[in-house]
Amino acid sequence: MSGMNPKVDWFFDKPTKWQQEYETLRMLILGCGLTEELKWGCPCYTSEKKNIILIHGFKEYCAVLFFKGALLKDEHGILIQQTPNVQVPRQVRFKTVREIMKLEKVLKAYIKEAIEVEKAGLKVTLKKASEYEIPEEFQNRLDENAALKKAFYALTPGRQRGYLFYFSQPKLTKTREARVEKYVPQILMGKGVED
């Protein structure tokens, strides 16, 4: 099929639980006229060099990810927000080729809409770091330590969000406390989670 990028073939050729599903998604997406590229180790499909959709897999399912999924109408209610902290992208998850084929027309319509959203230059207004809830374990440390509080609020909004996301992910208080404790020195140095 035209549009296949040989640099991406290894993703589809490697033995995996989702090999047939990946190949089915590839053909469906390429049929929409997108350009196939390799980004973040996954097949990524673009229009006029703008990311539209990506194929990726997990233990329990494989999925397509619409980069601006939050802007799609989702008339069929199939788009999934991966976590509460994911603001813009949305997934459609699959476990079988049959599920993909059942949604073929819907997926093509969503892809077409995603291309139009990108062409129109639409953007999502992202929440500010101040709009996120601060995990109790971190708030306690900020209240106890003025230097930490000053250092945290001096960080860029993106770094603040990164910490708030990272600290709030674990379900157990003990794990959240351990994460906060580990990163206090990094915050005091003005660094982000990934620095």
What's the pTM? 0.71
Q: Which of 180, 189, 132, 188 is nearest to 158 (CA)?
A: 132
Per-residue pLDDT of 110-120, as tens digits, reads 999 999 999 99
Out of 95, 119, 143, a domain closes at 119
Q: Which of 84, 94, 177 is nearest to 132 (CA)?
A: 84
Q: Are residues 153 and 99 in the same domain?
A: no
Please give the backbone phi and psi of residue 80, each rounded to the nearest 5 degrees, phi first. Answer: -120, 130
Per-residue pLDDT of 126-146, as tens digits, reads 777 667 788 899 999 999 999
Q: Are residues 19 and 115 in the same domain?
A: yes
Per-residue pLDDT of 62-102, as tens digits, reads 999 999 999 999 999 999 998 766 789 999 999 999 999 99
In this structure, what token pair is assigned to residue 50?
């703008």
Out of 78, 96, 119, a domain closes at 119
Q: Does residue 16 lie within any of the structural domains? A: yes
Q: Does residue 70 lie within any of the structural domains? A: yes
Q: Are residues 17 and 113 in the same domain?
A: yes
Cα(169)–Cα(91) distance, rounded to whole angstroms?
19
Q: Domain containing 76 — which CATH number? A: 3.90.1150.200
Range of the domain at 175: 129-188
With beta carbons less than 8 A apart as the criterion, state whether 76 and 108 touch: no
